[in-house]
Amino acid sequence: GDSVTQMEGPVTLSEEAFLTINCTYTATGYPSLFWYVQYPGEGLQLLLKATKADDKGSNKGFEATYRKETTSFHLEKGSVQVSDSAVYFCALNKGYQKVTFGTGTKLQVIP
């Protein structure tokens, strides 16, 4: 079946550091890929998405590129802020099938 693998957390960075959270997937067909963010005490919200190979999703300074050749969708941000501290989930959709989530990566940004 389909699966999503994320790097283990927690990830601790100083403010203004560069962020990479790795995400790789295994899936047949042509999934769409997503990053969701969950702030403390809240539900998940969409951060960005890409629906086909080589698409780049971007939002709030975060970016991720759908790489079919490496089955990856790594999340990057050039300069993190304290307000970016949250849990980040990588996920994939295919049609009407159930969504597959990674286990989540907790990011803590220190001033």
| DSSP 8-state code for residue 98 | P
- Exactly one of 25, 34, 62, 88 binds other proteins (CB under 8 A); which one? 34
| Partner residues linked to 14 by β-bridges | 110
- Do 110 and 11 contact (CB within 8 A), yes or no? no
Size of interface with other proteins, in residues (CB under 8 A): 24
Q: Phi and psi dihedrals of 69, rounded to 5?
A: -70, -30
Verify binding: residue 36, other proteins, rule CB under 8 A.
Answer: yes
Q: What is the DSSP string of 8-77?
A: -S-EEEETT--EEE-EEEE-SS--EEEEEEE-TTS-EEEEEEE-STT-EEEETTEEEE-BTTTTB--EEE
- Exactly one of 43, 69, 70, 111 binds other proteins (CB under 8 A); which one? 43
For the bound state, the minimum distance from the C-beta of residue 77 to other proteins, rounded and expressed in Å, comes to 19
Verify binding: residue 66, other proteins, rule CB under 8 A.
Answer: no
Window 86 to 105, contacts with other proteins (CB under 8 A):
89, 91, 93-99, 101-104
Please say which residue, 32 or 85, places its beta carbon nearer to other proteins: 32
Using CB under 8 A as the criterion, which residues of the chain lie in contact with other proteins when the complex forms?
31-32, 34, 36, 42-46, 49, 51, 89, 91, 93-99, 101-104
